[in-house]
Amino acid sequence: MGQKELLQRFVEIEHADTEKKNRQTSRNLIFKPLKEGWDRWLENLNLNYTSYVSFYQRDWPAICFTRQDILGDEYVNGLSLKQRAGIYIWLGYGWKIHTFYLRIGCANSPYTPEECVAFRTLFKIFKNGEYDTKHDNEYRNFKQLQENFLYDFVELVKVLNAVPKEEFLKDGGDIK
């Protein structure tokens, strides 16, 4: 499956789930194939990335993507990618307003910018913590998302890959 089909499936799952008003429907049966599809897509792009599909937040279903080399106990992202920890590329869908967002995001994790150099590095890129429009993509409809996703995603991958692996360590090293 290509990214357009994966994006379509993501939206279809959200709409079907919203209509049922039930977030407990065999999540593994629904999310696992979508995650596997995104992981295959990332592999086909020769990226050492993994994905995480989340419909946890009712109004903001999301897909997160991050580098596999920054997963582990010693890194802010932890052993496996979750939306609740670390730094990642975030594709969110505001289904009530039919708007999509693609940006580098960070969770409200226990690691502050002082504890992780990557947070500080990325905050400098984003003008002291505020997202620069260059790295914050908004799509007012699904067609716009499909047309721009690949290019915008690759641009965000370049930004995230520019941050050295060591800067994602929990302790932040001794860089001042």
pTM, two decimal places: 0.84
Q: Specify the higher pLDDT residue, 148 or 20.
A: 148
Answer yes or no: is pLDDT of 133 > 50. Answer: no
Strands of the sheet containing 62-67, edge to edge, are 49-54, 62-67, 87-94, 99-106, 136-139
- Distance CA(154)–CA(109), nearest Å, equals 25
Residue 152 pLDDT: 94
What tens digit of pLDDT does each residue of 61-104 get? 899 999 999 999 999 888 998 887 888 999 999 888 889 999 88
Confidence band of 107 (pLDDT split at 50, 70, 90):
confident
H-helix or E-strand spanning residue 137: strand 136-139
114 Cβ contact partners less than 8 Å away, ≥ 6 residues apart: 120, 172
DSSP label of 170: T
Residue extents of the structural domains in the chain:
3-168
